[in-house]
């Protein structure tokens, strides 16, 4: 049962587990929640509209405006008005250098691989901070409209976002005072909004076509057992509704023979025309003709003309769809459902072309600019446990484990495990008095860690000095639903612990995952041989160590020939180590064992007898 409490500040009833869903878009952002009747709904903070333009304006006096109020400054104060910050999120300067000219504000070029910064006046901001402003605005709107504190959210990102971009989104949420429970792919959210994938029994392959303000992307998803697997993504990061506006603007300029230079010098007129162009585009989704004027300039365009102007752009999006299908190894007929996302899919030509391409009717019943936020709200409802019948799962593509003696991979979470998941194992020290233990975390399918991918390394320090084998070190792996791995090492006797957090898929492409799997199959036999050799060697080294310590400690209890013979056996074992023959090593281990066994027992008894004299055993 959901907990209900009363908010003392507002007097309103407050459901403690309210989690909002946020679509943090390049052009527009939205926040949605599940309303009391159980349906998702975009939050409308009175009079402010559903969409919050993803724009931040900095005033000279230090005040910050977000959304429509900031949008007004795009033309009058371009240097201090930040738009499209999503394009910079989690990016280095090198990533974005190609399209540096796109931004009218200062993106700092430090020529490094570190994340970009934006200069506004004499202040520097990171894209995380700027996105944080937008998220904070959304949070406040939600709080104002719902009259309850909002501290938890699910935020969506494009399916192609890498881990650095996902982490940046998460960090932006944190800055805005939100606990980001999950980062969800936009196409997954859109699919949820249409109820596709909510039934764990259903198996479907879907295409999500997302044409927004400045970006286009298409994702092919396979939904199975409640798992949304991204089969392929494709798109164009500089293709969207803005291009449609520009096409209309250019058409009017040429129709009216307007002077390009004069226009460049009259930003107010240009901006006015641009807004009219967008208005015309929107009108043409339901009308066949748009007719208006601005400052005596006639502004008319027919739907036919508009479609002619944008047909090439629309064709480009279909080419991307074809590429995505090719990458997924599918034909258009194999796609079960097509979902339309993004404000620009309202344009009839877009809808018709996509339907024709995939040979089926597309899903366009839900507002395309709201559908992602609505799906995010459903995801948040699932996380809140209000839809306990549904569990969204993901699988980990590669095994996760740690390095053990001899550079071997000890798998703790095997590949294809459903996440979230946790697993652990107990380890001990290999040397007497060992106080530090190095823990190296790897990912991959090979038996040797040197062939796998290192994710992290840390040291568990301050283990109390004990004989080898006595400390008990539990190593626990916790892989959360976002694929973030927490590795914790704890020495049970002393309680000391240490932990690290890593993102195993960071910087890893699907191709690389595939290659790693292929390698492991190809090398399976060699790997087994090598593992057995290393295990034999490790056992031998351990044995040599113990035997030498044994001699040292118990000289007094041994006869001269026993000492000499034991030493000979130890030397023989040592000599066998580098021959690369595990059977030889095993035979030498056995010989040493057999030789020392009889007197080892005798010595033990004597040593214990000696020790007991001084100590009382209770
Ligand atoms: P993003 O995901 O990039 O933040 P949106 O999904 O909000 O963007 O899409 C914004 C784009 O949708 C803008 O270019 C806007 O002009 C366009 N758009 C909104 N309504 C319509 C409409 N009725 N017809 C055509 N395009 C529209
Ligand atoms: Mg969008």
Secondary structure of 525-539 in the HEC alphabet? Answer: HHHHHHHHHHHHHHH
Q: Is 281 in the pocket of ligand 1 (CB under 6 A)?
A: yes
Cβ(505)–Cβ(397) under 8 Å?
A: yes
Residues of the chain with pLDDT under 70: 1-17, 111-113, 225, 388-395, 416, 505-510, 607-618
Q: Rounded distance, CA 400 to CA 409, Å?
A: 9
Q: Which ligand neighbours the alpha carbon of 156 most closely?
A: 2
Q: Which ligand neighbours the alpha carbon of 342 most closely?
A: 1
Ligand 2 centre to CA of 243 (Å) is 16
Per-residue pLDDT reduced to its tens digit, 550-603? 888 888 888 888 889 999 999 999 999 888 898 999 999 999 988 888 877 777
User: Which of 25, 26, 343, 367 should be mutated for ligand 1, with most atoms under 8 A from CB?
Assistant: 343
3-class state of residue 472 by DSSP: coil
3-class state of residue 68 by DSSP: helix
Phi, psi of 394 (to 5 degrees): -135, 165
Distances (CA, A) of 357 to 190, 217, 329, 352, 534: 20, 15, 16, 9, 56
The whole-number pLDDT of residue 527 equals 80
Q: DSSP assignment, residue 232?
A: E
* The ligand 1 atom nearest the CA atom of 28: 4
Q: Which ligand neighbours the alpha carbon of 26 most closely?
A: 1
Per-residue pLDDT reduced to its tens digit, 3-59? 344 444 444 444 455 899 999 999 999 999 999 888 999 999 877 778 999 999 999
Q: Is 433 left (phi over 0), alpha (psi -120 to 50) or beta?
A: left
* The ligand 1 atom nearest the CA atom of 54: 4
Distances (CA, A) of 545 to 431, 501, 571, 572: 8, 35, 12, 14
Ligand 2 centre to CA of 210 (Å) is 7
Nearest residue by C-alpha to atom 22 in ligand 1: 282
What's the CATH number of domain 400-520, 3.40.109.10, 3.50.50.60, 3.40.1280.10, 2.60.34.10?
A: 2.60.34.10
Query: For residue 285, which of 371, 344, 341 has the smallest C-alpha distance?
Result: 344
Q: Is 285 in the pocket of ligand 1 (CB under 6 A)?
A: yes
Give the count of alpha carbons within 13 A of 90, CB side only: 18
Crossing angle (nearest 10°) for helices 186-193 and 371-383: 90
Query: For residue 416, which of 433, 437, 435, 393 has the smallest C-alpha distance?
Result: 393
What's the CA dihedral at 588, 591, 595, 601 to 10 degrees? 90
Q: Is 530 in the pocket of ligand 1 (CB under 6 A)?
A: no
Nearest residue by C-alpha to atom 18 in ligand 1: 343
Q: Rounded distance, CA 468 to CA 546, Å?
A: 9
Residue where the block lists tokens 């970009």: 116
In the annotation, is 186 catalytic? Answer: yes
The whole-number pLDDT of residue 11 equals 45
Nearest residue by C-alpha to atom 2 in ligand 1: 212
Ligand 2 centre to CA of 54 (Å) is 11
Q: Provide CB contacts within 8 A for 32, sequence distance 6+.
A: 20, 21, 22, 23, 40, 41, 42, 43, 370, 373, 374, 376, 377
Q: Rounded distance, CA 15 to CA 17, Å?
A: 6
What's the CATH number of domain 6-194+369-383, 3.30.420.40, 3.30.1330.80, 3.40.190.10, 3.30.70.20?
A: 3.30.420.40
Ligand 1 centre to CA of 347 (Å) is 9
Cβ(283)–Cβ(254) under 8 Å?
A: no
The whole-number pLDDT of residue 529 equals 83
The whole-number pLDDT of residue 598 equals 81
* The ligand 1 atom nearest the CA atom of 343: 12
Alpha helices in 176-213 (DSSP H): 186-193
- Entry pTM: 0.67
In the annotation, is 23 catalytic? Answer: yes
Q: Is 347 in the pocket of ligand 1 (CB under 6 A)?
A: yes
Q: For domain 526-612, give the CATH number.
A: 1.20.1270.10
Cβ(448)–Cβ(405) under 8 Å?
A: no
* Residue 399 bridge partners (DSSP): none
Q: Is 25 in the pocket of ligand 1 (CB under 6 A)?
A: yes
Nearest residue by C-alpha to atom 19 in ligand 1: 343
What are the sequence ranges of the domains in the chain? 6-194+369-383, 241-307, 400-520, 526-612
Tokens standing for residue 166: 């996902």
3-class state of residue 283 by DSSP: helix
Tokens standing for residue 243: 């291009």
User: Which of 71, 279, 369, 373 should be mutated for ligand 1, with most atoms under 8 A from CB?
Assistant: 369
3-class state of residue 122 by DSSP: coil
CATH 3.10.20.30 fits 241-307, yes or no: no
Cβ(351)–Cβ(340) under 8 Å?
A: yes
The whole-number pLDDT of residue 33 equals 96
The whole-number pLDDT of residue 553 equals 84
> 361: cis peptide before it, omega within 30°?
no
Tokens standing for residue 519: 């390698």
The whole-number pLDDT of residue 614 equals 43
In the annotation, is 210 catalytic? Answer: yes
Q: Which secondary structure element, helix H or strand E, spans residue 73, and what is its range?
A: helix 73-76
Q: Rounded distance, CA 451 to CA 518, Å?
A: 13
Given 45, 65, 86, 143, the catalytic residue: 86
User: Which of 209, 344, 371 should be mutated for ligand 1, with most atoms under 8 A from CB?
Assistant: 344
User: Which of 213, 214, 284 should be mutated for ligand 1, with most atoms under 8 A from CB?
Assistant: 213
Given 129, 163, 171, 186, the catalytic residue: 186
Given 45, 143, 163, 210, the catalytic residue: 210
3-class state of residue 290 by DSSP: strand
């Amino acid at each position: 049962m959901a907990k209900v409490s009363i908010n003392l500040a507002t007097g309103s009833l407050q459901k403690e587990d309210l989690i909002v869903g946020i679509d943090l878009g390049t052009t527009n952002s939205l926040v949605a929640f599940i309303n009391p009747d159980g349906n998702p709904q975009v939050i409308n903070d009175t009079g402010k509209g559903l969409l919050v333009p993803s724009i931040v304006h900095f005033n000279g006096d230090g005040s910050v405006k977000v959304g429509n109020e900031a949008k007004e400054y795009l033309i009058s104060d371009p240097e201090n008005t930040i738009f499209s910050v999503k394009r910079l999120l989690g990016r280095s300067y090198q990533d974005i250098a190609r399209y540096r000219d796109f931004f009218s504000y200062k993106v700092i070029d430090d020529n490094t691989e570190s994340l970009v910064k934006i200069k506004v006046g004499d202040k520097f901001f990171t894209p995380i901070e700027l996105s944080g402003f937008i998220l904070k605005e959304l949070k406040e709107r939600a709080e104002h409209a719902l009259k309850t504190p909002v501290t938890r959210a699910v935020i969506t990102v494009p399916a192609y976002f890498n881990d650095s971009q996902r982490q940046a989104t998460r960090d932006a949420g944190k800055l805005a005072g939100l606990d980001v429970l999950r980062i969800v792919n936009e196409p997954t959210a859109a699919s949820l909004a249409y109820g596709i994938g909510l039934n764990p029994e259903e198996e479907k392959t879907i295409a999500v076509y997302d044409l927004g303000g400045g970006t286009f992307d298409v994702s092919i998803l396979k939904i199975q057992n409640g798992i949304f697997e991204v089969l392929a993504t494709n798109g164009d990061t500089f293709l969207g509704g803005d291009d449609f506006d520009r096409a209309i603007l250019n058409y009017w300029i040429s129709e009216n023979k307007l002077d390009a230079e004069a226009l460049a010098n009259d930003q107010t007129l240009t901006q006015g025309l641009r807004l009219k162009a967008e208005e015309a585009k929107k009108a043409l989704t339901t009308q066949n003709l748009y007719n208006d004027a601005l400052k005596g300039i006639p502004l008319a365009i027919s739907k036919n003309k508009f479609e002619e102007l944008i047909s090439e752009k629309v064709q480009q999006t279909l080419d991307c769809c074809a590429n995505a299908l090719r990458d997924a190894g599918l034909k258009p007929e194999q796609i079960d459902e097509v979902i339309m996302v993004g404000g620009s899919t309202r344009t009839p030509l877009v809808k018709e072309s996509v339907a024709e391409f995939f040979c089926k009717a597309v899903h366009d019943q839900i507002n395309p600019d709201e559908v992602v936020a609505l799906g995010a709200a459903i995801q948040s409802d699932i996380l809140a446990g209000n839809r306990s019948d549904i569990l969204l799962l993901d699988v980990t593509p590669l095994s996760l484990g740690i390095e053990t003696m001899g550079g071997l991979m000890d798998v703790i979470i095997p590949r294809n495990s459903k996440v979230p998941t946790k697993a652990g194992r107990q380890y001990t020290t290999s040397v007497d008095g060992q106080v530090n233990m190095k823990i190296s975390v790897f990912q991959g399918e090979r038996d040797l860690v040197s062939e796998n991918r290192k994710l992290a390394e840390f040291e568990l320090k301050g283990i109390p000095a004990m004989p080898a084998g006595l400390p008990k070190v539990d190593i626990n792996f916790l892989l959360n639903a976002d694929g973030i791995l927490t590795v914790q090492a704890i020495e049970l006797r002393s309680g000391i612990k240490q932990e690290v957090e890593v993102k195993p898929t960071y910087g890893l492409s699907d191709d690389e995952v595939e290659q790693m799997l292929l390698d492991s199959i190809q090398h399976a036999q060699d790997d087994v041989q090598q593992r057995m050799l290393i295990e034999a060697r490790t056992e031998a080294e351990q044995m040599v160590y113990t035997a030498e310590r044994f001699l040292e400690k118990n000289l007094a209890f041994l006869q001269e020939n026993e000492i000499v013979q034991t030493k000979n056996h130890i030397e023989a074992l040592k000599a066998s180590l580098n021959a690369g023959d595990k059977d030889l090593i095993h035979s030498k281990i056995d010989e040493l064992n057999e030789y020392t066994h009889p007197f080892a027992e005798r010595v033990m008894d004597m040593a214990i007898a000696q020790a007991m004299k001084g100590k009382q055993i209770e």
